[in-house]
Amino acid sequence: MSKVFKKIRSFAPVAVSAGLVLALLMGSVVPAKAAGQRVIKIGYVCAFTGPLATTSVPVSRGMLDYVRWLNDEKGGINGIKVQAMWEDYGGAAPRTIPIHKRMAQAGVVFEVQLEEGALLATLPRMVADEMPGMYVAGGAPVTLRTKPQWIVGSAPEFENVYGFIAKWMRENWTERRPMRLGWFAIDCPSVRELYHNLVPSYMNEIGVEHVGLELAPIFGVIDTTVEWLRLAAKKPDWIMIEHAGASVAVMIKDAARLGLQQKGIRLMSGTISLQEEQIKEVGEEAAEGWYRANFEPTPVTYPDCPMMKTVLDAARRYRGLKPEDVGLTYFKGWIASAVACEGVRLAVEEVGLENLTGRAVRDAVFGIRDFDTGLVAPITMTEDTWFYNRHMYFVRVEKGKFVRLTDWIEVPLVFHHVVIDGEVHTERVK
């Protein structure tokens, strides 16, 4: 068992037709409540349809299944059932604005968002409504640094995460010359900011020569040949990708067709890109040899972590999933929902259900101390450490499976962000 685990102590849909389809897809989370029955409402902006579905469906399932398990096995929060109010935004960020309005009007006290575009669309209204929320995809500083802090991230700032991945590559580089790294990522504000903050100063500092960045839109990617060839022409030793959804499958297939690994280029996926679902989609041969950085355990990489059997049993009962069908993103959703519910639990204990507000939940979330999910290291959050997962491990794809290369490693905090006069600034940690 790893050192980290040794530390562990023990919308309703709007349209009826869409609701019927999604109900069959998901299963019930909480049955209809009788008038006057006490419930706690948590909002989930899910994506069961659209171009992100390859990744977002398992995340959404994991989030909602945790709530169902919490109600079934623990009686909810302090004996009060949790109502998971969810809607499918289909990967279209503008749809999250009316979804948020409906959730706020319904009395939701915490709102979970999947990705940067969706959160950016609703963040001003969430702050105005004093609705705390979560950014499940990571730690984009543009979405996380408000005064006061209203958003919880799933990981440290992107600069810390991707700087650490590059540093791990460099430390495992055996040649005397600097390691040459190329990057292929989503075209979005956080990636551009990340590139500006890491290149060239930090990369040079750790002995990495950054040879170039290629960007592709988050949706509608059907061919990445030109981008791959431009990067390959710069003779990188590694290329790291960070993309999402259906685009990742296109990127992997194109990299295989172009024979990049046969040309001596190693391929690394960041923390949201290559999932078990994409491996199945592109085939074992195309994904063979890819590396990846993981924030969540899997039944293959950490079969003995304390809550593994519980999660797999819930996935079987609620979804009919076999262990081999429960991957990283399902665990990502489960852990996110566990953190959200823990914050709400602390708020209920502090102010009582009758006085429960978004601000009370916000205060409680940043008071989480040593929370044990049984899947990752104990979680502590403050307004300075506003993310709930700081440990990562590395894997390599072999015969269609993630093979663990390292134990859990704590991501060092090299960068942090501050808000000055309403603008986000990146600073080196002293």
Average pLDDT rounded to a whole number, residues 244-270: 94
Residue corresponding to tokens 């899910």: 46
Helices 16-26 and 53-74 pack at an angle, to 10 degrees, of 70
Tokens of 153: 């991230």
Helices 328-351 and 308-319 pack at an angle, to 10 degrees, of 100
For position 142, what pLDDT does the model report? 63
310-327 b/e (C-beta count within 10 Å ≥ 16 → b): ebbebbeebbebebebbb
Name the CA dihedral angle for 116, 119, 121, 123, rounded to a multiple of 10 degrees.
-130
Pinpoint the alpha helices (H) of 129-188.
141-144, 158-171
Please state the φ and ψ torsions of residue 180, each to the nearest 5 degrees. -105, 125
Confidence of residue 18 (pLDDT cuts 50, 70, 90): very low
pLDDT at 272 over 60: yes
Structural domains for the chain: 3-155+303-365 (3.40.50.2300), 158-294 (3.40.50.2300)
Is residue 114 within 8 Å of 54, Cβ to Cβ? no
pLDDT at 2 over 90: no
Tokens of 300: 């293959």
Q: What is each CA distance from 205 to 78, 200, 228, 325, 372, in whole angstroms? A: 50, 8, 26, 41, 36
Counting residues of the chain whose pLDDT is more than 70, the rounded percentage is: 90
For the chain, give the mean pLDDT.
88
- For the segment 29-60, what is each residue's pLDDT rounded down to a tens digit? 433 333 345 899 999 999 999 888 888 999 99
Q: Which residue has the higher pLDDT, 195 or 74?
A: 74
Average pLDDT rounded to a whole number, residues 151-169: 92
